[in-house]
Structure formats: structure tokens, C-alpha cells
Amino acid sequence: MRRVAALALALVLPVAVAQASGPRLTVFAAASLAEALPRIDAAERYSFSGSDQLAFQIRQGATADVYAAASPKYPQELYKDGLVAKPVTFATNRLVVIVPRANPARIRSVYDLRRDGIKLVIGAKGVPIGDYTRTVLDRLGLSDALGNVVSEETDVKLIAGKVALGEADAGFVYRTDARPIVGKVIQLAIPSKAQPPVEYQIAVVAASHHKTAAGAFVRRLLSPRSRAMLRAAGFGLP
């Protein structure tokens, strides 16, 4: 009898533990959140990419429970079309220019980016970092620097990687993306008057089979602990 009871308990316990821990969520998130989110919650399954690409995948029926973007644009569009719950803003950011540590092009400020021969890498149109970059250049009267663009990338990590490897003379990234490669690049500040409002929004995906757990994930991200971790990672708070 004791053996039967022990066997029954052994069969029940894994189920109970699994139920207590909840389902493992699939979180679609902007590439610039690749360091921060796993530190806040390491238990979930993350897919990091450009916010526009992730929104497209959700529209195509990709399996996801939560969507976190580096711009309100795509979450709001998905919300309007009934594909996500109402988005909430959970973080902010700022843009910087990065150059390789050796700085072979001798770039000292954002205004040097219009010099002939500069190899500039930016985000593609539609990618939040790409749209923010064009806003900065327009506000500074530096739109002619787009003539020096040698590559338009689909997410901010690709920009940071090319500059860190010396494949470009400069690139526009979020300040949080410059931190992990601080030994390989130099940051150049962008005047405050040119900074666009960079807001991150998050929402539960309407097609999620785990809406309760997904909602709990969003609430955890808004908690004081998570906000402190985001600030420590270099993000601003709304």
C-alpha cells in the first residue's frame, strides 16, 4: 500500500509543480531588450528582433503570448486591429552615436557624420531605431548625412555589432545597446533638442492561449523590482 501511495505521489508531484510554475510564455520583444528582459524573468522563451518584424509575424499568426516593442507605433496598430490587448508604456530610452574605439574616421560629434567618406550604418525605415535616427538627422539639419549610409539594418543589435567590429565608422543606437560593448566603442551624445521620445510598450497577444500568465508577466514588468532593474540597465521610466 505504501508503495502504491508513493508511486501515486510521484506521478502527481510533477503535475503540481508544473501547474504552480505556470506555462512557459513566448515573448516577442524588441532587440534592444535582449539583455534586460531575461534578467527580469529568465523563465520565459524570448524572440528578439526588430519591432516591425515581430508585429508582422503576429499578424501572420505566429505563436506569441506577449509583445514588447521599442515604439508605440506597432503595438497601437495591433491593438486597433484587435490583435493585442491595450498596450502600456513601461520604459523609455535615448539615442547615441557610437564609433569604433579606434575611431579611424576621427568622428568627434554627430555633425561630423556628413563629411565625405564616412561609412554610416543605421536602421532601416520602419524599424523604430531607423525612424528615430531619421528624426534626429532631420531635427539637426543633417539629412544629407544619409548619403553616407552604407548599410540599413533590421534591428539595433546588428548596427551595434557592425560598429563594434569596425565594419562602419559610426552608427545610431539606443544608449542601452552601447553599454554591453563599452570596451569596443565610444559614445557620442546627441543634443537633447534632437532626441525623439523613445517609448517602449508591451501588450498581451490576443491569440495567446495563456492570457492569465501573460497578463501576470506584464504586471511583473511594471513592478517596482522590474522598474529598478530597467533603470539599472540604462532605460528611463515613464
DSSP codes of every residue in 13-27: HHHHHHHHH-PPPEE
Model-level pTM? 0.88
Higher pLDDT pick, 16 / 77? 77
Q: How far apart are CA 42 and CA 62, in angstroms?
A: 22
Q: Examine the pLDDT at 39 and tell me if it is beyond 90.
A: yes
Please, what CATH class does the domain formed by 95-194 belong to?
A: alpha beta
What's the average model confidence in pLDDT over 143-168?
Answer: 97
pLDDT for the residue numbered 13: 39
Question: Taking 70 as the threshold, does the pLDDT of residue 11 lie above it?
Answer: no
The boundaries of every CATH 3.40.190.10 domain in the chain are: 2-92+199-232, 95-194
What pLDDT does 198 receive? Answer: 97
Q: Are 169 and 107 in contact (CB under 8 A)?
A: yes
The pLDDT value given to residue 22 = 82
Sheet with 26-30, edge to edge strand ranges: 45-49, 26-30, 66-69, 198-204, 88-93
Average pLDDT in the 95-118 region? 97
Query: pLDDT at position 113, please?
Result: 98
- Cβ-count burial 39-68 (b if 16+ within 10 Å, e if not): ebeeebebebbbbbbbbebbeeeeebbbbb
Is the pLDDT at 19 greater than 60, yes or no? no
CA distance linking residue 62 with residue 207, whole number of Å:
9
Single out the residue of 48, 83, 85, 44 nearest to residue 69, CA to CA. Answer: 48
Q: Is the pLDDT of residue 174 over 60?
A: yes
At the second CATH level, the architecture of 2-92+199-232 is 3-Layer(aba) Sandwich (3.40)
| Per-residue pLDDT reduced to its tens digit, 219-233 | 999 999 999 999 999
Q: State CA 95 to chain mean position distance.
A: 13
Cite the DSSP H helix spans in 98-223. 128-139, 156-164, 175-178, 211-221
Q: Average model confidence (pLDDT) for the chain?
A: 92
Residue 3 has pLDDT above 50, yes or no: no
Angle, helix 73-80 to helix 51-59, in steps of 10 degrees: 10
- Residue 73: is its pLDDT beyond 60? yes
For the chain, give percent helix, strand, coil, nearest 5.
45, 25, 30
